[in-house]
A and B are shown apart, each in its own frame.
Chain A
Amino acid sequence: MAKHMLFPDVGEGITEGVLVKWLVQEGDAVKEDQPLAEIETDKAVVEIPSQMHGTVLKLYGKAGDTLKVHTPLVTIGNPGEPVPPLEEKIITKTMAATAQAPSTQTTASTAPALQEASSGAILAPPSVRALARQLGVELGSVKGTGPGGRITAEDVQRIKSAAVGSYAVPPKKLSFDLGKGKRLPLTHLRKTIAERMQFSWQQNAHVTYVEEADFTFLLSLRERRREAAEKQGIKLTPLAFIMKALVETLKDHPVFNASLDEEKQELVLHDYYNIAVGVDTEEGLIAPVLKNVESKNILQIAKEMRELSDKARTRKLGLDEIRGGTFTVTNLGSVGGVFASAVINPPECAILGIYRTRQRVVVEDGRMVMKPMTYLGLTFDHRISDGAAAARFMNEFVQKLQEPNWMEEL
């Protein structure tokens, strides 16, 4: 008799975990207590052992997925046995767990506590009180979003970034009549994008600097090398050359391959170049990270970029393939547009937008000529570098792209 095993609360009151990897496959025979999966919760990475002897009939989810507590993890039974439908009880639980979008749940359950917090005692741990003092934020004006209405460090930071002059202004929640249109639940990916982009937008002082580059020689270099690459089964794209030129330029301008350690008030200049590249998937934007681009040649970059974007589209990326970026490239030009202002991918401090290469008329030696021109936009955090630094970065980058012979043998 097949049995569904649910993902248990392995901490004290955890609500979800990320599936790190399966330790068994469908069809495997397993014993009671044999580890089935590794799951990362906000407390630890834990192995989940089997509740019984039997054969794994079905695994629910894949590496990288977020699993809600008390939703199905595996079904175990006899070999070849059909997977029985989930019992009513489990389905209800699954739906309840999915419906608990963190934001709405938090608002609902802590609402009374919030009022208490603003009318009576201020609930905040000492570290948050210290932070508030340091930032000059009046805790009485902060609404806590932590458990029971506790004020968190993020709450204080949010107030600080919304503050005008020395007055801390709590963000006002506006309510709207949203009509009766069809309602779609936000996917986990959408929520992650929302959280990261909002954080970045509030945290960083975004400035976008735009320059254009003549791709005549870059495209002919690509043509010269295309056939040799194809023989190795590699589709050579201009992006591979752009990434090589980018990393070489970053080496001379380390302030753009960096992260800000706000706590220590220090800038961390990374000694490696892990370039994240935005990939447009059906479910939304994913930015897999190509690690150590500085040690890779053009063909390797093209090949590995292709593999990463395929994995992104089929949602097969491992956690280590979406983490650890030091700089991001967004190739929006493959879809359209003249140029756009991008949002920095935290904890990085700059992002490069590459836009569509178009034949345009430019003036050269007093004559009008047609050239394949490309806009390049560098969005950077003005807290840690300035416009002139961005201009110098772009000058070198554009030169490397317009005179690409140095990449002939790379």
Chain B
Amino acid sequence: MPKKIVFEGKTEYLQVLDENGAVDKTLEPKLDENLLRKIYENMVRARVFDRKAISLQRQGRCYTYVPTEGQEGAQVGSALALQKADFGVPSFRENAVYLARGVSMEQLFLYWMGNEEGSRMPADQNNLPVAIPVGSQVPHAVGIAWAMKLKKEKAAAITYFGDGATSEGEVHEGMNFAGVFQVPCIFFCQNNQYAISTPITKQTHAQTIAQKALAYGFEGLQVDGNDVLAVYAATKAALEKAYSGKGPTLIEAITYRMQAHTTSDDPKKYRSDEEVEYWKKKDPLTRFQVYLKGKRLWDEEYEKKVQEAATREVEDAVRKAEAYKPNPEDMFTYLNAELTQDLKEQMQEMKKSMEG
């Protein structure tokens, strides 16, 4: 009986822009100026939106919010690599993905302010609404991708999840199915180092999350998630692969959440100020700014313009979202396509008690 190696795998790591903004010319994707500006502007929009949402929550004008700051590179880089026909299937931290894919700030504020209407994604955009239960969205994305394959569409689905979700069964069920049926699905894991307070070292004993794809028979790679160019390039390559029938890809974007897990969390209880400072130096916006400056696409005046436009957009969206008057019946009518009998009864009861 011979003993032999039956499987050997490797996992690559990709970085194009280092943390000082220096670019690796051999790996640099050739993107036109408009797209480069669009990438930067969307990262700024996301950050301005994010900070406003946290402030609104602290003022009692918004409910529990899930901050994005620090992860704009991973989110904007992947979202802008998508075509309109591709389907976005986010978890709950993908504010920058939604914004980059054309969802309005008003729509996102409606969601975080607790309005059912906030979950009604515009019909002409291929995005699922926010998925709060960790990992639950992954099989949905695989199903969508399978449908795309059966319908022979030149499109792919991308699903977002965090390092914590890789300990959930659905994520593995989804990846296994995607591997077996070779569906055009990208599994985009933002490894932001913590699942609330659980550090990545307690999430998995594996060296990378990316390598888990090998077990399901497809490629997994790691990218510097704070390097928007690397993220864009990796996502683009995975999409091309998906479009040409070569199946799924797992992308592990190494990043860091600069704020709390949610506005109900206190990160000081589980991570040090030094650690946060260390990651601040790796900020995705700062290094991309340096890159754009090198291409003479960024100066102070441009920065001011971008910041002001984002601030105006945010203020305008807050005003509109706060003016929205929800109907309490929304709680029932937005749940199912048709109301079930018990929900109808509950709705009647609620109406009666409101009249009384």
Q: Is the CB of B59 within 8 A of A45?
A: no
Which residues of A have CB within 8 Å of B55? 33, 49
- Closest partner residue, chain B, to A7 (CB atom): B60
Give B197 Cβ to nearest chain A Cβ, in Å: 12
Report the contact-size class of chain B (Cβ under 8 Å from the partner). Answer: 10 to 19
**Given A33-B52, A43-B266, A44-B265, are A12 and B64 neighbors across the interface (CB < 8 Å)?**
yes
- Closest partner residue, chain A, to B315 (CB atom): A32
Pick from B58, B260, B264: contact of A49, CB below 8 A: B58
22 cross-chain CB contacts under 8 A: A5-B59, A6-B60, A7-B60, A8-B59, A8-B60, A8-B61, A10-B57, A10-B58, A10-B263, A12-B64, A33-B52, A33-B55, A43-B265, A43-B266, A44-B265, A45-B268, A46-B58, A48-B59, A49-B55, A49-B59, A50-B59, A51-B61
Q: Is the CB of B58 within 8 A of A12?
A: no
Which residues of A have CB within 8 Å of B64? 12
Pick from A5, A6, A44, A51: contact of B260, CB below 8 A: A44
Interface residue ranges of A45-60 to B (CB < 8 Å): 45-51
Q: Is the CB of B58 within 8 A of A47?
A: yes
Dominant SS among interface residues on chain A: loop
- A232–B60 Cα distance when bound, in Å, is 51
- Closest partner residue, chain A, to B318 (CB atom): A32
Considering only CB atoms and an 8 Å cut-off, how many residues of chain A contact the other chain?
18
Give B102 Cβ to nearest chain A Cβ, in Å: 26
Interface residues of B (CB under 8 A from A): 52, 55, 57-61, 64, 260, 263-266, 268-269
Give A90 Cβ to nearest chain B Cβ, in Å: 13
Which residues of B have CB within 8 Å of A116? none
Contact of A11 with B by CB under 8 A: yes
- A44–B197 Cα distance when bound, in Å, is 14
Contact of A9 with B by CB under 8 A: yes
**Given A12-B64, A33-B52, are A44 and B59 neighbors across the interface (CB < 8 Å)?**
no
Give B162 Cβ to nearest chain A Cβ, in Å: 19
Q: Is the CB of A12 within 8 A of B264?
A: yes
Give A76 Cβ to nearest chain B Cβ, in Å: 11
Taking A5-B59, A10-B58, A49-B55 as given, write out 16 further A-B residue pairs in contact, using a Cβ cutoff of 8 Å, ordered by the A residue number.
A6-B60, A8-B59, A10-B57, A10-B263, A11-B263, A12-B264, A43-B264, A44-B260, A44-B265, A44-B266, A44-B269, A45-B266, A45-B268, A48-B58, A49-B59, A51-B61
Q: Which of B61, B264, B265 has the most CB of A within 10 A?
A: B264
- A44–B57 Cα distance when bound, in Å, is 14
**Given A33-B52, A33-B55, A49-B55, are A9 and B60 neighbors across the interface (CB < 8 Å)?**
yes
- Closest partner residue, chain B, to A43 (CB atom): B264
0/1 string, A36-74, CB within 8 A of B gives 1:
000000011111111100000000000000000000000
- A57–B60 Cα distance when bound, in Å, is 20
- A45–B268 Cα distance when bound, in Å, is 10
Interface residue ranges of A1-45 to B (CB < 8 Å): 5-12, 33, 43-45
Which residues of B have CB within 8 Å of A47? 58
Give A30 Cβ to nearest chain B Cβ, in Å: 12
- A6–B59 Cα distance when bound, in Å, is 8
